[in-house]
Copies of this chain bind each other. A is one copy, B any other.
Amino acid sequence: NPSMSRQSGKSSLLYLCSQHIKTNQTLSISLSPLNKSGGESLTCKFFQELVNILMDYIFKSNERSSKILDFHHPHQLKEGLEGFSLDLPDHPEPLEQILVDCRDTLKYGVKTGHPRFFNQLSSGLDLVGLAGQWLTSTANTNMFTYEVSPVFLLMEEVLLKKMQSIVGWCEEEGDGIFCPGGAVSNLYSLLVARYDFYPEVKTKGMCALPRLALFTSEHSHYSVRKAAAVLGMGSDSVQVVPCDERYPSPEGLFGLVPFYVNATAGTTVYGAFDPLTAIADVCDRHKLWLHVDAAWGGGLLMSRRHQGKLQGIERASSVTWNPHKLMGAPLQCSAILIKKRGLLQECNQLCAEYLFQSDKHYDISYDTGDKTIQCGRHVDVFKLWLMWKAKGSEGFGSQVNKCLENAEYLFKQLQRRADFKLVFESKPEHSNVCFWYLPPSLRGLPPGPDTNRRLHEVAPQIKAKMMEEGTTLIGYQPLGSNVNFFRCVFSNPATQHEDVDFLLEEIARLGSNL
């Protein structure tokens, strides 16, 4: 009887809401049969109000006059501001309070989609990407088997193939997987490379292997070193290549067996590109695995104007590429691409028959769960797929161009101003622009350790004020012999020249009495 079945089933998913109707929104959860008349409409009302809160937040994030953050110290938030309590209750709170909690959570958070948020490599809020995330959450499944994720697993294949062809690999090459972030993608590259050279490591461990060495540049991401520690190779196995010297020959490492080189395409701070072709030549000569960490730089491949900066990437054995950075996909969306097909599966599979049955009636090559070091995997692909539909490859290209154009605009403004100093005099390669602000008291001082010591304190002081004001947000750091400097990065295509102008004026304003 379908009509009866429909009736009794109608509100079963909705019990969370309907129980609030039944119990006058204060009593504990009841799991008895539900109020059939009110469930759907209350659910709709609840989500409508939620969407209003979220849209309101989106529009506010996008108003330049809105604050990016309303800073409070941890202890202030923990004490409970204006009734916003983080404590977990024993008894349920009414749905109205849940909506208030949502509003408060956003209120005390950071508007990463604001056009004046320059703090991270990931910024902006792509609305089609966001729609993709909402759908993903609603579908609530994971990338495990074709049985529970048919569409998403195929989308992953389509995306990986597209990205592999953009990297420049041929039809027969290429494998990969979407991972929870670039650090995990880099870890996969090292894991798979080790297995490719020494498959016995899977069962026998590092004890069965010679002592390995891998190479990475001074300015590469720290996740390479972290991965070496996690994988039981030890961080000492990482040979850090200084950035201002010629790339050294790996033979120099007595007693260690070099097998892996990480080259960075777009470093975190400077946005610099390692010379991929020259490194690939070294790797060819010595038969080393070449990994290109293009977590940040990969997006440039979408732009005809800038893709040449990654020339040589097609020679990589593996590539990390995070669409959640320059391509603006919502967090998280990171891919590890591996040239040699089958390796990922061989390296990681344990063939637990109780999880991956081989007697299924469909093509089980899409049951990717055993390729990963995770078991269930979050669906990170749909938002990117949907964005690709909405923009096309060329749309990503324009977006990337826009970000680099903003960087060039900032670079030119900095060249012209006496109260700022560029870390590099040459045009930025990526959208990173690094600079110092020179407060009145430091202008005209002779360079030297004393000036540097004082300059080192400028950025943290301005940043502290900036967080209190909440009008814009930018990161700073020291690096090598350079004392604390600001790093501006552009990944939000909503940012305009006026925002760049605002940033400089704001830094000058906040630092004027230093």
Contacts and interface: CB of A to CB of B under 8 A. Distances in A.
A510 interface: no
A317 to B, nearest CB: 19
A31 B331 contact: no
Interface string A33-48: 1000000100110111
Given A59-B40, A88-B385, A385-B88, A113 B398 contact: no
Nearest to A135: B102
A374 B28 contact: no
Contacts of A484: 357, 359
A389 B93 contact: yes
Contacts of A425: none
Interface string A18-39: 0000000000111101000000
Interface stretch (A231-239, A284-292, A407-415): A231-239
Contact of A88 (B90, B98, B237, B393): B393
Contacts of A208: 234
Interface string A185-213: 00100010000000001111111100100
Given A29-B399, A393-B90, A62 B10 contact: yes
Contact of A268 (B87, B226, B354, B391): B354
A230 B50 contact: no
Interface string A476-497: 1111000010000000011110
A51 B134 CA distance: 9
Given A8-B496, A57-B139, 20 more contacts: A5-B64, A15-B493, A29-B392, A29-B394, A46-B131, A54-B135, A73-B363, A92-B394, A102-B135, A105-B139, A105-B151, A105-B382, A119-B147, A122-B376, A130-B140, A134-B137, A206-B206, A227-B373, A332-B376, A359-B460
B14 A184 contact: no
Contacts of A211: 205, 207
This chain: copies in complex: 2
A112 B134 contact: no
A308 interface: no
A64 to B, nearest CB: 4
A223 B375 CA distance: 7
B390 A92 contact: yes
A390 B63 CA distance: 32
